[in-house]
Structure 1
Amino acid sequence: MALVSVANDTLTVEVEGLDRLWAVKSRIEIPLGNVRGATADPGIVREPKGIRAPGTHLPGVIVAGTFHRDGEKVFWDVKNPERAVVIELADAKYTRLVIEVADPRSTVALVEQALRSR
C-alpha cells in the first residue's frame, strides 16, 4: 500500500511495509506541474502490465515495481484492486502511477484539489 501527500507543489508517494521490497522503491516525488489527474480504477489490474524491470508480479496476489509497455513506463503497487488509484503524469519518469491506497476516494480528491489550487 502507499500513502499519497501533497506539499510545496510536489506530489509524494510513500510505499509502505514489505511493498518497498516488492516494488524496489520506497518513495516517488513528482512536481504537481507534471500531474495530469487521478482516478479510482479497480479494473486496471486486468490490463496487460508489460515487461517487469524491476519488480514483482504474482497474478492475483501483487503487482509492484516498474513495468514497461508500448513505450510507457508505469509504476505499480497493488495487492487489492478495489483500492487502486491511477495517477496520470506528463513529462515525468513514469507515464502513470498505479497504486493501492487505504481510501481511493479521498486520495483522488486530494490530488484533484491540489491541481485545482495551483
Structure 2
Amino acid sequence: MTTTRVTTDTLQIRFTRREKIAGLVRDIDLPLDIVRDARVVPDGLAATRGLRAPGLGLPGLRMIGTWRRPGHKTVVSVRRDRPAVQIVVDHPPVRRPAARRRRAGGARGRHPRPLTDGATADTR
C-alpha cells in the first residue's frame, strides 16, 4: 500500500517494493510549496487519464506506474473500488545537469523529465 507523509517542508510518497517493481516507480519527495491541491477521489481507476508509460495496467483492477497525456504526467497506484488521494503540483522539480555532456560516440545526453505533476495513491 502506498503511503504519504507530510513533514515540515516535504510531502513524501512511499511505494511498496512490489509497487516499485510492477509500476517502475520510485519514492517521491515533493516540496510543500509546489503542492497546489490534494483531495480524495471516490474511484482512483476512473480518475486516471492518459497512456501508461511505463507501468502496470490491469484493466478494471489495478494501475501502478506513470500515465501520460499532453502536458501532464501522473504517477499512480490505485485499485478497483477504492478511494484514492489525488495530489496536484504547480511546477514539478526538474533535475537537470548543469551542462549538456556528450556521450561516447557523440550522442548528446538527455535531460531527465520532470518528476510528476500529480500523484494518486491508495488510501485503504
- TM-score category, normalised to shorter length: 0.7 to 0.9
Matched position secondary structure for 1:82:
coil
Per the TM alignment, residue 26 of structure 1 is displaced from its structure 2 partner at its CA by 3.2
Match of 2:25 in 1: 25
1:26 & 1:71 partners in 2: Cα distance? 21
5+ long unaligned stretches in structure 1 = 103-118
Match of 1:97 in 2: 119
User: Which structure shows the bigger proportion of residues in helix conformation?
Assistant: 1
Query: Which amino acid letter does the alignment assign opposite residue 7 of structure 1?
Result: T
CA contact (8 A) 1:84 1:101 kept: yes
Query: Which amino acid letter does the alignment assign opposite residue 39 of structure 2?
Result: T
1:13 & 1:59 partners in 2: Cα distance? 24
Per the TM alignment, residue 18 of structure 1 is displaced from its structure 2 partner at its CA by 1.5
Match of 2:39 in 1: 39
Asked which structure has the greater CA Rg, the reply is: 2
CA contact (8 A) 1:75 1:96 kept: yes
5+ long unaligned stretches in structure 2 = 93-114
Matched position secondary structure for 1:45:
helix
Matched position secondary structure for 2:82:
helix
Query: Which amino acid letter does the alignment assign opposite residue 50 of structure 1?
Result: G
Match of 1:57 in 2: 57
Give identity over the alignment, percent.
28
Residues 48 and 35 (structure 1), Cα distance of their counterparts in 2 relative to 1, 3 Å cut: closer
Runs ≥4 residues deviating over 3 A: none
Per the TM alignment, residue 70 of structure 1 is displaced from its structure 2 partner at its CA by 2.4
Match of 1:85 in 2: 85
Aligned residues: 102
Matched position secondary structure for 1:49:
coil
Matched position secondary structure for 1:21:
helix
1:88 & 1:73 partners in 2: Cα distance? 10
Query: Which amino acid letter does the alignment assign opposite residue 34 of structure 1?
Result: I
